[in-house]
């Protein structure tokens, strides 16, 4: 039994001196392996006096368990130390972009069209689209624009060669023909916005492009008045340019609305005191609008004595250029990744 | 239209003069203000003087010595101009006067003679560009008075943009009427004094074309053509009209004052005192005032004598009948023309004149008589002429004022505020609309307002004068709005494509034959049958695009040229085919497509910026993600040789046997023609089927039982697509299949190995070895039968 007590005394020291998991294995074999003192003594129990056996057996087990605990503790400590060593060697400089994932960006024109659409969707509007190659009837006649109107000249409008030459076919000059199509297909009430691409026979300069985009709006119901137009555009101005914006409506002329107005919004950059953004006027001209002309209602089969409505239309490039300080309209169509990458 | 405040005040006694306030009032009346310019005199200390004598300078040839009276008796001034003689009234800068910013006039000696100041030219006074000689003033200006007193300076000039529906506002009197209506006050119209006349007009005017609505003529005899009086010339200059001579200036002055364009002919050049208004003959030519010989057509209308055309009606006068320095007798024309006719003539001949701008809008046909009288009065007054008695007024179908009925509740229905009948009557009355009755109102519209023909037009007039600022605000909302499922899915689609590293582009709708030809498409391909633009801006923009790919390739090229190493772009937009639209009929088919292009590496990259180089699989991976994210189950990729694409690296996307798009690498020759290096991946897909609403998806309860997985490696002919092996495997495996996909593929000569990993799982039990074995055997047998595949290692 002295041998056993020697083991019990020596074991913590032996185990504690081990510095690796492999070394610990050897010590474990030495202390509790097949040929260890403890194992030998267990095997020798049967040779003992039966009266001594329980005491001796209990002591052997006690020592055995004690040694096991010491080894387990040591193993855990060594494992932690080993892992810590590994983690130190596994250190990286996390500031280095070793893996890059590059997502594409949304085009600013899309962003603005969606944003404008969503403002009106939040007011319960639907979003409609229509053909870009359009008949002169939808683009002009239905919109109370007579055949003599200068906008119909080839110097202003692009025409295409398609179908029967008597059906003048053109590139829509505004998104308004979708108004006419939508009204033909729906009974009032109508609350709709129309984003889309439009065309004019304009040469490219800083603010003009033969291809550009508009968002059109149309509301028709039995009780729509000029006050509804005014309130709606005020709501839009605040939603798009921020709280605190005020608008003014200036009388104007468009064939398809009567009365007609130009909508100006107080400058978001200077709050109306005058700056570069608003050419020192304090106001930014944003869109044309007005009450739908009765002739338009008649053209699409609505009864102008039963319904009234308002319409408005704004240039998407202009909205984007004004709000983001974009210097030339070409930036929308060159698709320069250095520009597209800014539209986030 | 440039409007000087001092001139405007001739017709209306404005209660305010603040230019900014007046500009706002103009704008709120619907007359957009493009600019407000304050004009200050560019000199000080200049007096009106009279030249008493002119003598040669004793010591110089090029200058003369003048004795000039500026109110304090004769004083000597040396002058280098030769366009005047003794008796001329002139502007004199006396010693101490300042010209321009800081040129002070002093008494100085010129070649031995003391000159006590300077006789000024228009240019020196900042009044015009004329520097040919000194400014000779009309007689009668009081000697010694400050010159500035005769110039209406300082002044304010408003530059107004008059909308095309408002002929009445293209005049001083018309704008005075507008301001008077705003301020609710009266205004004045000139009432010409024609009490002194001599003789009787002897002129025959035949209107042979009803596009001439009225022709009024007057005659003034014995005129002296010379510069117009200073005040008139200065008013014209402020209005942006060059001063020419008293006769021409009076003509322009009356046009600006009343809005009625007028024309002055040299009466002695009108053959037989007989004027004919007629359509031009097919081969007729006319040399206009600008010296250009115009080829006329029967669409054109001319004022002619019995021999030849004298002017292009309402557009521009003829050179031959023009008033010249030697003209003695003047024929005044004040006519009314059909507006569209003048518009077409002015456009056809590229002649946009002040006259045509007014006639296009529709000048009041009841204005010519007043204008002719006014012009006669002014010519008599400023060109010493004698007005011939009588007037020729050929007015075949006089235009009567229109009567419009306005139910009073229509005003509130459109404007949203109750405006009383009395108020409407008042507001319209200010514009000289005569209103009777209470409800409905009966409104007689003056003939100067051809834009007002309906109740709604009257409502607009009411709104304008009531003030848009004074209307309340209300925000109406719709009941059934929102994005459609397709619109929401379109946004998801864009997000998914961006997630693969492609940036959204917007390219031009136009293309050209050269770009289409570079795509390497076969003859007869519908993309080559592009719709032509009749009036393209440029040759390269003469076609409507049939594919988005050339535009995207050019954008890729642009980016590479500007330093980008990789480009991933996509666009969603319309393409146009020379076929009727299946949905809309009359217009061409113009479906929307999704297209993309990739060069270099797109999406992810390592530290050095190297990503997986793009190839056909870049495009197919994008497609697979779209299928997964938008739930498009039933699509198939079909390997194919596609024109313009790499013959071995492209495929069609099919849906229920129908091709809806293609994805592949550009054929190297096509890539070269677009100047693009390396592999270039392109794809173009019909948008409609991608965003079509698939309806609600059905929930699948996840199994709680464990899966069984196994791999099969087949050996098949190299030409068999892996997708076919996979499809056959899936079909054969049956209901227990949870997922299967190709995990390995490699070529070995004529055959290739296709490895497929299967995961099977049942919803109601743990699978047994027998289940798995049976499935394996079904798969192997089916693939062997369908694709001649042999299980490798078996």
**Of B517, B612, B526, B598, which is closest to residue B555 (Cα–Cα)?**
B598
Same domain, A169 and A265: yes
Q: Is residue A331 domain-resident? A: yes
Same domain, A253 and A212: yes
Show which of residues 322-341 on chain A sit within 8 Å of chain B, judged by CB atoms: 332-338, 340-341
Is A124 close to B29, i.e. CB distance below 8 A? no
Same domain, A231 and A118: yes
Q: Is residue A268 domain-resident? A: yes
User: Which residues of chain B does A226 touch, with a Cβ-Cβ cutoff of 8 Å?
Assistant: 414-416, 463, 468, 471
**Cα–Cα distance, A288 to A264 (Å, whole number):** 9
**Cα–Cα distance, A261 to A253 (Å, whole number):** 7
CATH class assigned to B708-791: alpha beta
Q: Is residue A10 domain-resident? A: yes
Same domain, A85 and A113: no
- Given CB atoms, is A148 within the 8 Å cutoff of chain B? yes
Name the residue facing A226 among B360, B416, B568 (closest C-beta).
B416
Instruction: Count A/B contacts: CB-CB distance under 8 Å.
Output: 268
User: Which residues of chain B does A261 touch, with a Cβ-Cβ cutoff of 8 Å?
Assistant: 468
Which residue among A89, A118, A144 closes a domain? A89
* Nearest chain B residue to A149, by CA: B340
Closest approach of A88 to chain B, Cα-based (Å):
22
Closest approach of B214 to chain A, Cα-based (Å):
21
Closest approach of A83 to chain B, Cα-based (Å):
28
Is B502 close to A153, i.e. CB distance below 8 A? no
Which residues have CB under 8 Å from B257's CB, separation 6+? B171, B172, B173, B190, B374
Show which of residues 191-220 on chain A sit within 8 Å of chain B, judged by CB atoms: 191, 197, 199, 201, 203, 210-211, 219
Q: What is the per-residue pLDDT for B794?
A: 61
Is B468 close to A249, i.e. CB distance below 8 A? yes
Residue to substitute from A132, A180, A335, interface B, most B β-carbons within 10 A? A335
Portion of chain A with pLDDT greater than 90, in percent:
76
Name the residue facing A133 among B559, B576, B611 (closest C-beta).
B576
Residue to substitute from B351, B587, B602, B608, interface A, most A β-carbons within 10 A? B587
- Given CB atoms, is A134 within the 8 Å cutoff of chain B? yes
The number of residues making up chain A comes to 344
Could you list the residue range(s) of the whole structural domain that residue A204 is in?
108-340
Asked if B392 and B216 count as a contact pair (C-beta separation under 8 A), the reply is: yes
Same domain, A77 and A116: no
The number of residues making up chain B comes to 794
Is B564 close to A337, i.e. CB distance below 8 A? yes
Domain ranges of chain B: 2-40+154-183, 43-150, 198-394, 402-469, 485-691, 708-791
- Over its C-alpha atoms, chain A yields an Rg (Å, rounded) of 42
Superfamily (CATH) of domain B43-150: Nucleic acid-binding proteins (2.40.50.140)
Q: Is residue A96 domain-resident? A: no
Q: Which CATH architecture has domain B198-394?
A: 3-Layer(bba) Sandwich (3.50)
Distance of CA B234 to the CA centre of its chain: 33
Q: What is the per-residue pLDDT for B40?
A: 92
Q: What is the per-residue pLDDT for B657?
A: 86
Is B500 close to A124, i.e. CB distance below 8 A? no
Q: Is residue A98 domain-resident? A: no
**Cα–Cα distance, B701 to B253 (Å, whole number):** 89
For A278-319, what is each residue's pLDDT tens digit?
888 899 999 999 999 999 999 999 999 999 999 999 999 999
Is B481 close to A121, i.e. CB distance below 8 A? yes
Work out the angle at residue B211's Cα, subtended by the Cα atoms of residues B363 and B272, and round it to the nearest 5 degrees.
100
Q: What is the per-residue pLDDT for A147?
A: 86
Is A248 close to B468, i.e. CB distance below 8 A? yes
Q: Both tokens of residue B519?
A: 């795509």
Task: Report the topology of domain B485-691.
Answer: BirA Bifunctional Protein; domain 2 (3.30.930)
Q: Both tokens of residue A87?
A: 């983690």
Q: What is the DSSP letter of B167?
A: G
Q: Do domains B402-469 and B485-691 have the same CATH topology?
A: no
Q: Is residue A97 domain-resident? A: no
Closest approach of A208 to chain B, Cα-based (Å):
13
User: Which residues of chain B does A134 touch, with a Cβ-Cβ cutoff of 8 Å?
Assistant: 587
Is A253 close to B165, i.e. CB distance below 8 A? yes
Domain count for chain A, please give it. 2
- H and E: helices and strands count for chain B: 19, 45
User: Which residues of chain A does B29 touch, with a Cβ-Cβ cutoff of 8 Å?
Assistant: 251
Name the residue facing B476 among A221, A293, A340 (closest C-beta).
A221
Q: Is residue A321 domain-resident? A: yes
Show which of residues 2-41 on chain A sit within 8 Å of chain B, judged by CB atoms: none
Q: What is the per-residue pLDDT for B352?
A: 87
Same domain, A131 and A242: yes
User: Which residues of chain A does B501 touch, with a Cβ-Cβ cutoff of 8 Å?
Assistant: 101-104
pLDDT surpassing 90 at residue A216: yes
Same domain, A213 and A326: yes
Q: Both tokens of residue A286?
A: 């944003």
Instruction: List average pLDDT for each run of 10 residues in chain B, which is 794 residues long.
Output: 96 95 96 94 93 90 91 91 91 92 89 90 83 84 92 94 94 97 96 90 94 96 92 94 93 97 92 92 92 92 90 89 92 94 90 91 95 96 93 95 96 94 96 94 97 97 95 92 96 97 97 93 92 93 96 97 95 96 92 97 82 94 94 89 95 92 97 95 97 89 95 93 93 94 92 95 95 95 90 77
**Cα–Cα distance, A220 to B449 (Å, whole number):** 29
Is B534 close to A159, i.e. CB distance below 8 A? yes
Q: Both tokens of residue B261?
A: 């364009």
**Cα–Cα distance, B761 to B131 (Å, whole number):** 101
| Range list of β-strands (E), chain A | 99-101, 126-127, 133-135, 159-161, 169-171, 190-199, 211-221, 247-254, 257-266, 283-292, 308-315
Q: What is the per-residue pLDDT for B459?
A: 97
Is A133 close to B544, i.e. CB distance below 8 A? yes
Q: State the maximum Cα–Cα separation within chain B, in Å, rounded to a whole number.
A: 135
Q: Is residue A49 domain-resident? A: yes
- Given CB atoms, is A127 within the 8 Å cutoff of chain B? yes
Whose tokens are 């009755």? That residue is: B437
Is B607 close to A98, i.e. CB distance below 8 A? yes
* Nearest chain A residue to B499, by CA: A103
Same domain, A127 and A218: yes
Domain of A275, CATH number, reads 3.30.930.10
Same domain, A201 and A119: yes
Q: Which CATH architecture has domain B402-469?
A: 2-Layer Sandwich (3.30)
For B426-483, what is each residue's pLDDT tens digit?
999 999 999 999 889 999 999 999 999 999 999 999 999 999 999 999 999 988 899 9
For A120-167, what is each residue's pLDDT tens digit?
999 999 999 999 999 999 999 999 998 888 888 888 999 999 988 877
Same domain, A144 and A60: no
Is B503 close to A123, i.e. CB distance below 8 A? no
Same domain, A162 and A272: yes
User: CATH for B2-40+154-183?
Assistant: 3.30.56.10
Same domain, A123 and A67: no
Which position has the higher pLDDT, B181 or A274? B181
Q: What is the DSSP letter of B188?
A: -
Closest approach of B722 to chain A, Cα-based (Å):
29
pLDDT surpassing 90 at residue A186: yes
Q: What is the per-residue pLDDT for A166?
A: 79
User: Which residues of chain B does A153 touch, with a Cβ-Cβ cutoff of 8 Å?
Assistant: 347
């Amino acid at each position: 039994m002295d041998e056993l007590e020697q083991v019990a005394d020596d074991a913590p020291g032996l185990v504690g001196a081990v510095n690796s998991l492999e070394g610990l294995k050897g010590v474990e074999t030495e202390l509790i392996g097949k040929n260890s003192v403890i194992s030998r003594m267990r095997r020798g129990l049967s040779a003992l006096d039966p009266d001594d056996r329980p005491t001796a057996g209990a002591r052997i087990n006690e020592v055995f368990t004690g040694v096991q605990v010491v080894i387990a503790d040591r193993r855990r400590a060594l494992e932690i130390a080993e892992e810590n060593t590994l983690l130190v060697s596994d250190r990286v400089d996390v500031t280095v972009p070793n893996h890059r994932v590059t997502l594409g960006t949304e085009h600013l024109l899309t962003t603005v069209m969606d944003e404008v659409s969503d403002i009106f969707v939040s007011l319960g509007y639907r979003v409609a689209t229509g053909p870009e190659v359009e008949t002169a009837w939808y683009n002009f006649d239905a919109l109370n624009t007579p055949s003599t109107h200068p906008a119909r000249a080839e110097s202003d409008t692009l025409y295409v060669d398609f179908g029967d030459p008597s059906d003048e076919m053109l590139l829509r000059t505004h998104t308004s023909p979708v108004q006419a199509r939508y009204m033909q297909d729906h009974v009032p009430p109508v609350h709709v916005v129309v984003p889309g691409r439009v065309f004019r026979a304009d040469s490219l300069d800083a603010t003009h492009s033969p291809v550009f985009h508009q968002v059109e709006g149309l509301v028709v119901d039995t009780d729509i008045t000029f006050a509804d137009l005014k309130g709606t555009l005020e709501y839009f101005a605040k939603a798009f340019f921020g709280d605190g914006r005020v608008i003014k409506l200036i009388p104007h002329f468009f064939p398809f609305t009567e009365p007609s107005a130009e909508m100006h919004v107080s400058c978001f950059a200077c709050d109306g005191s005058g700056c570069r953004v608003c050419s020192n006027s304090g106001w930014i001209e944003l869109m044309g609008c007005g009450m739908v002309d009765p002739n338009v209602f008649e053209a699409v089969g609505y009864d102008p004595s039963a319904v009234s409505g308002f319409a408005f239309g704004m240039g998407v490039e202009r909205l984007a250029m004004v709000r983001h300080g974009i210097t030339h309209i070409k930036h929308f169509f060159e698709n320069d990744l250095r520009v597209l990458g800014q539209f986030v | 239209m440039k409007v000087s405040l001092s001139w405007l005040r001739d017709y209306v006694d404005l209660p305010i003069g603040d230019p900014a306030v007046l500009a706002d009032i103009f704008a709120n009346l619907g007359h957009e203000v493009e600019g407000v310019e304050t004009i200050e005199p560019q000199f000080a200390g200049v007096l009106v003087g009279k030249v008493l004598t002119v003598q040669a300078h004793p010591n110089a040839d090029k200058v003369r010595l003048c004795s000039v009276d500026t109110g304090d008796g004769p004083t000597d001034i040396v002058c280098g101009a030769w366009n005047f003689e003794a008796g001329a009234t002139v502007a004199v800068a006396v010693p101490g006067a300042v010209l321009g910013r800081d040129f002070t006039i002093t008494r100085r000696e010129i070649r031995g003679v003391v000159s006590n100041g300077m006789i000024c030219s228009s240019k020196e006074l900042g009044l015009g560009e004329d520097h040919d000689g000194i400014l000779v003033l009309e007689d009668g200006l009081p000697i010694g008075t400050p010159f500035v007193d005769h110039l209406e300076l300082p002044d304010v000039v408003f530059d107004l943009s008059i909308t095309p529906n408002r002929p009445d506002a293209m005049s001083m009197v018309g704008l005075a009427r507008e301001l008077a209506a705003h301020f609710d006050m009266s205004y004045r119209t000139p009432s010409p004094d024609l009490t002194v006349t001599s003789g009787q007009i002897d002129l025959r005017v035949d209107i042979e074309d009803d596009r001439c609505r009225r022709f009024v003529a007057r005659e003034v005899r014995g005129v002296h053509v010379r510069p117009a009086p200073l005040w008139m010339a200065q008013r014209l200059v402020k209005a942006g009209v060059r001063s020419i001579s008293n006769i021409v200036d009076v003509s322009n002055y009356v046009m600006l004052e009343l809005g009625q364009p007028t024309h002055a002919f040299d009466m002695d050049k009108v053959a037989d005192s007989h004027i004919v208004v007629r359509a031009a003959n097919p081969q007729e030519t006319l040399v206009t005032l600008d010296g250009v010989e115009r080829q006329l057509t029967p669409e054109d209308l001319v004022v002619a004598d019995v021999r030849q055309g004298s002017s292009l009606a309402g557009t521009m006068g003829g050179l031959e009948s023009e008033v010249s320095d030697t003209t003695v007798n003047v024929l005044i024309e004040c006519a009314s023309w059909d507006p569209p006719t003048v518009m077409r003539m002015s456009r056809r001949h590229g002649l946009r004149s002040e006259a045509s701008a007014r006639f296009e809008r529709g000048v009041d046909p009841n204005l010519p008589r007043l204008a002719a009288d006014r012009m006669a009065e002014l010519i008599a007054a400023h060109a010493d002429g004698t007005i011939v008695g009588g007037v020729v007024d050929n007015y075949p179908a006089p235009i009567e004022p229109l009567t419009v009925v306005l139910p009073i509740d229509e005003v509130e229905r459109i404007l949203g505020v109750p405006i009383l009948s009395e108020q409407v009557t008042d507001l319209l009355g200010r514009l000289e609309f005569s209103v009777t009755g209470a409800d409905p109102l009966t409104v007689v519209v003056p003939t100067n307002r051809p834009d007002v023909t309906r109740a709604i037009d009257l409502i607009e007039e009411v709104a304008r004068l009531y003030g848009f600022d004074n209307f309340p605000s209300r925000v109406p909302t719709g009941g059934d709005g929102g994005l459609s499922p397709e619109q929401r899915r379109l946004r998801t689609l864009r997000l998914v494509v961006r997630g693969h590293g492609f940036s959204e582009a917007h390219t031009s709708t136009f293309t050209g034959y050269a770009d289409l030809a570079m795509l390497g498409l076969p003859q007869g391909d519908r993309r080559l049958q592009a719709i032509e633009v009749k009036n393209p801006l440029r040759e390269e923009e003469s076609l409507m695009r049939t594919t988005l790919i050339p535009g995207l390739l050019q954008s890729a090229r642009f980016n590479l040229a500007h330093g980008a190493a990789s480009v991933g772009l996509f666009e969603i937009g319309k393409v146009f085919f020379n076929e009727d639209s299946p949905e809309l009929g009359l217009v061409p088919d113009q479906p929307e497509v999704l297209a993309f292009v990739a060069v270099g590496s797109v999406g992810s990259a390592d530290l050095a910026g190297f990503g997986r180089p793009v190839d056909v699989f870049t495009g197919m991976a994008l497609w697979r993600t779209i299928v997964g994210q938008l739930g498009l189950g039933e699509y198939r990729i079909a390997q194919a040789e596609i024109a313009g694409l790499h013959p071995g690296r492209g495929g069609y996307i099919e849906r229920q046997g129908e091709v809806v798009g293609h994805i592949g690498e550009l054929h190297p020759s096509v890539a070269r023609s677009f100047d693009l290096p390396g592999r270039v991946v392109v794809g173009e897909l019909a948008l409609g089927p991608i965003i079509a609403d698939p309806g609600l998806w059905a929930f699948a309860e996840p199994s709680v039982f464990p899966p069984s997985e196994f791999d099969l490696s087949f050996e098949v002919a190299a030409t068999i697509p892996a997708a076919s092996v996979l499809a056959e495997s899936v079909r054969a495996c049956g209901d227990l299949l949870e997922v299967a996909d190709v995990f390995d593929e490699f070529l070995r000569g004529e055959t290739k190995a296709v490895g497929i990993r299967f995961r099977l799982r049942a919803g109601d039990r743990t699978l047994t070895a027998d289940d798995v074995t049976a499935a394996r055997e079904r798969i192997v047998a089916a693939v062997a039968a369908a694709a001649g595949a042999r299980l490798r290692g078996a």
